[in-house]
Structure 1
């Protein structure tokens, strides 16, 4: 019998269901809520700090925003989306998809908006949470679905307060600011910065990209789907399901392999990226865009529009470091003042924030700050010693390197449901990983990391303060297999 059916049978048989709190109403929080409902569990609440659902795709609305995972694979496996209009889905379409799913499963009645959980404490056998407004709640289980990239990174440039134009981060895009005919400066040449260059180049009088490190660009065309194709997918859902399986297979067998071990996959990836770079005709510009690390060391950007856009006459690439910001623009370390009307900070996020800045205290008075003093650590990306009945979705060392975070969250959510099943069967009241299991896990992870692409010499948000990637060093398939069934020998199972 499946986990869902077993939990339903237990509840129908009179077993009391646990109280569950889900932090965040983004992709993974919605998924966790759906899985609870499918099992007939309704004693849960989703706390969302903003006024609407969506997480990443609500926060980021900058020009050109799109997912770097093919659209038909970037869905819940049980909820195909026949409405995709492009191979790489625009952010607005992804947000609309999650809103439709949220409405379909009637999750609004379980969600409290505009309530950010600021503190959690495990005491008297339960989790006690407190929000920024002072609201309190208790739960048997907490699932942190706070996302990987939610705390923005805003470097404090000297003089930024003196700038006479507009300044904002890409995740706080001000749509009231007119772009047409403006001199726009973009700070940051990562995935976000590269996505914006093409659309901004079409409206800006002058567009300047301030780049610290060049980015490898993988040449996959962003195909637009025809109206006939979209109608066909709506009429024959098997088409969308087949493309989900196809893109999943391709992602796992190409980038999924190339990033974790050397071989022909990695060689082909390198050659295609180099071939794409050679479309830049100006040797000086091409040199500025040439990298000293392998493709995939940073998260790979999928685009065929960036290189043509960066070569336009109204677009300039600046690789000199920023000295300070003045009233009229950005002065670089070579003394040049780049006059601007608008500064856009494409400076990314703190990839190691996870639940923070929320504070947590588990058993033995252990705080999250103490548990993560040497950096975020979680057993198989999901549980932390001394934090009983606490689970994470897309936590530290998840296999997120150029792979669908939805697929990862589905694997992890299923794992959590299996643990809830054992709780309802009376196997335990509290579950937390053994410290030795965590230590053994990280020992094998660190032994495997040197063979991955992420240790080949780049600086990226994947790396901790010691330069160690906070990633799963094997294939996504291996993660799914190892997480298919909890091994309770790795856990302390306690009764009240």
Structure 2
């Protein structure tokens, strides 16, 4: 439905992952067409464009890892593969005419709020500057690969790459491969690499809890039902939602329930891993759920292979021809693959964001990232974050959270319509109150049981996870309370 007011504000969206694309679609559907999406790469897709390693797939069910307003009926499997998810995103770009709004190879270096005009000046790494009334960041939390701080890393003479920047030109067949890290990416690609490599030395800092993945291909008749009976598609999605949502209780309030899953993981490991030493190393020593729980059917069989060596000694250094551990052992390597995750708590990095009175976002967040409802930051008017601080989940689909945020941002734009030329800035006391509620909610959760994870920033503060149900977040973002904001007229 077109808006009665045809004067739509200029809107810049940074990023073309699920957040940026979905926001642009909803803006267009609401009648806003003066939109530009800035994408640093040459293709849309965000994390699903970047992570092309062998075995890359989603750990959220396909039908719930897609927009509610754009169902896909012909998913090949219960859990979507990387290529299929990326194809779905490109389909959305074409269907909703987003191509004309996207500027590829346009990486943002900095954004500065101009109080005189209530505009954002956004500078690209090319030096070009764009101006907009509204700035929406959709950079995600998993877009900046984390490189480990290991001595000698730059001295390695073989091939080295991060799992999020996979080198498809390098053939791993018959090679001596070292993999550093055993997180979500490694769980998926190690079984594939183990099939090719002569030897695979897997360097593990801490074990991961891994559960069986209830995955299988959809049968043709099931795809037909999804397509011909939309009500069944909706019901199936609804059932997935509530099945996933009930797990929030275990993560946030009744941690003891997670022991059921821990027993399942131990049983699976004992069944698949026959080497007693490997089995001892592969079972975590921390509370299940404190770090991300992973799902896989081929992780334990891969660990059990004779050409896979599980190394738990700390890495001392990387030598020109391999990896050296703290006890002096040398592990020769033709290639090193870094499965060391992402800088998830460094929101919007490496973009420099400057708000009112010249205040830098890094200064505003010196005690940890915080945003009102995970979307707006005091001192940064007319800037809206998607997938911002404390909106990540451990139990359900982030797309559900994103759709809540789309609705909230649209409601903010409607509020701005009532104040032509004004900029809305969330009040600091409202932001602080919301942050206290979130941090109090995180106390006593499974993430508060003492392990080190990417959920925590360098100060040990959980700036990533939402401490409750997704429907409570949707309720909190159902509409904008204008009393939470101050509306600022241009300074001139």
TM-score normalised according to structure 2 size? 0.95
The two structures, once aligned, show a CA RMSD in angstroms of 1.7
Distance across 2 between alignment mates of 1:145 and 1:237: 30
Q: Could you tell me which residue of structure 2 aligns to residue 448 of structure 1?
A: 441
- Worse overlay, 212-221 or 55-64: 212-221
- Worse overlay, 417-426 or 275-284: 275-284
Map 1:126-275; keep pairs closer than 5 Å.
126-254=119-247, 256-262=248-254, 265-275=257-267
Distance across 2 between alignment mates of 1:200 and 1:231: 35
1:495–1:327 Cα change, 3 Å: closer
Q: Could you tell me which residue of structure 2 aligns to residue 382 of structure 1?
A: 375
Distance across 1 between alignment mates of 2:120 and 2:72: 36
1:370 aligns with 2:333: no
CA contact (8 A) 1:10 1:425 kept: no
Structure 2, unmatched stretches of 5+, are none
1:10 aligns with 2:1: no
Distance across 2 between alignment mates of 1:469 and 1:428: 36
Map 1:328-407; keep pairs closer than 5 Å.
328-407=321-400
Out of 26, 45, 57, the position equivalent to 2:48 is 57
- CA shift at 1:298, angstroms? 0.9
Counterpart of 2:443 in 1: which secondary structure?
Answer: helix
Distance across 2 between alignment mates of 1:249 and 1:386: 37
Counterpart of 2:345 in 1: which secondary structure?
Answer: coil
- CA shift at 1:264, angstroms? 6.3
1:427-455 Cα deviation digits (max 9, x unpaired) = 88211111111111122222221221111
- Worse overlay, 302-311 or 442-451: 442-451
Structure 1, unmatched stretches of 5+, are none
Counterpart of 2:289 in 1: which secondary structure?
Answer: coil
Out of 396, 401, 405, the position equivalent to 1:408 is 401
Runs (4+) of structure 1 exceeding 4 A deviation are: none
- Worse overlay, 280-289 or 317-326: 280-289
Counterpart of 1:10 in 2: which secondary structure?
Answer: coil
- Worse overlay, 486-495 or 382-391: 486-495
Out of 57, 69, 72, the position equivalent to 2:63 is 72
CA contact (8 A) 2:430 2:484 kept: yes
CA contact (8 A) 2:255 2:445 kept: no
1:342–1:399 Cα change, 3 Å: closer
Distance across 1 between alignment mates of 2:194 and 2:19: 34
Q: Could you tell me which residue of structure 1 aligns to residue 38 of structure 2?
A: 47
- CA shift at 1:18, angstroms? 1.1
1:486 aligns with 2:480: yes
Counterpart of 1:46 in 2: which secondary structure?
Answer: strand
CA contact (8 A) 1:164 1:327 kept: yes
1:43–1:215 Cα change, 3 Å: same
CA contact (8 A) 1:399 1:475 kept: no
1:18–1:63 Cα change, 3 Å: same
